A = this chain, B = another copy of it.
Amino acid sequence: MEYTTVNYVSKKPKLNNPILIEGLPGIGNVGKLAVEHLIEETKAKKFAEIYSKDFPPQVFINTDGTVKLVNNEFYYIKSKKNERDIVLLTGDYQGLSSQGQYELVEKILDICEELNIKELFTLGGYGLGHEIENPKVLCATTDKSLVKVMKKYGAVFKKNEPGGGIVGASGLLLGIGKIRGFQGTCFMGETPGYLVDPKSAKAVLKILMKVTNLKVGLSALEKKAKEIEHIAHQLREIEGMSKEKTEELKYIG
């Protein structure tokens, strides 16, 4: 096992001008929720796993009692004729250290090159620290020409936001990808950041679907969003917290 290892679990798929859509764990788990939703709705097929010695030394336990080493996983969707095929990436963790993050992203880009992927979409959350009724979707890209395109689709570019840039795989995939010749766009759904946020994931998917012509139902996400809203409501009541005070919850979920 290398520091970062790719393990193909089925034959490498033959794809038509494919794009990558990445959603790994992060603030509000926005990206992960979005990509997992796409996998479920489209019945995407898993074809590869990535293991890293920079992931926690941990297995999860499947519902049938068997173990699964923590990893990242690649899925693909064959699209209708003349549409671009889609590769999806999600997983249990991002790398724990800086070096691990860089190595992981380089390995992901290696696989993208093997699959002839030239364009990347990375999904994440943009933590506000307060409640938000209608989350906007902030955007950053590798190329100026993409900025124009994404603005047309309703993505928001705010000067100096996110002020801290983009940390983790969603940022690195664009940053290193740009140097290696990829085009890429990061969509960041506004989120309080306290709890997992299906509402923000839905906002991100809506714009992504417009950009990619992919179509999936969103009702499952809407249902989850209602459940989370219910939990948030209960937490506020239990704690006797006003909306303003819920900031203390920001590390839950």
Contact = CB atoms under 8 A, between A and B. Distances in A.
Contact of A65 (B60, B70, B140): B140
> Which size class do A's interface residues fall under?
35 or more
Contacts of A165: 58-61, 67, 70
Contact of A141 (B53, B67, B167): B67
A161 interface: yes
A239 interface: no
Interface in A87-140: 95-96, 98-103, 105-106, 139-140
Given A69-B175, A98-B96, A61 B1 contact: no
This chain's copy number in the assembly: 4
Nearest to A174: B67
Interface in A151-195: 157, 159-162, 164-169, 171-172, 174-176, 178-179, 186
A7, A68, A161, A171, most chain B CB atoms within 10 A: A171
Interface of A is mostly: mixed
A144 interface: yes
19 contacts: A1-B102, A57-B171, A58-B164, A58-B168, A59-B165, A59-B174, A59-B175, A63-B160, A65-B157, A66-B178, A67-B140, A67-B141, A67-B142, A67-B165, A67-B166, A67-B174, A69-B176, A69-B178, A98-B100
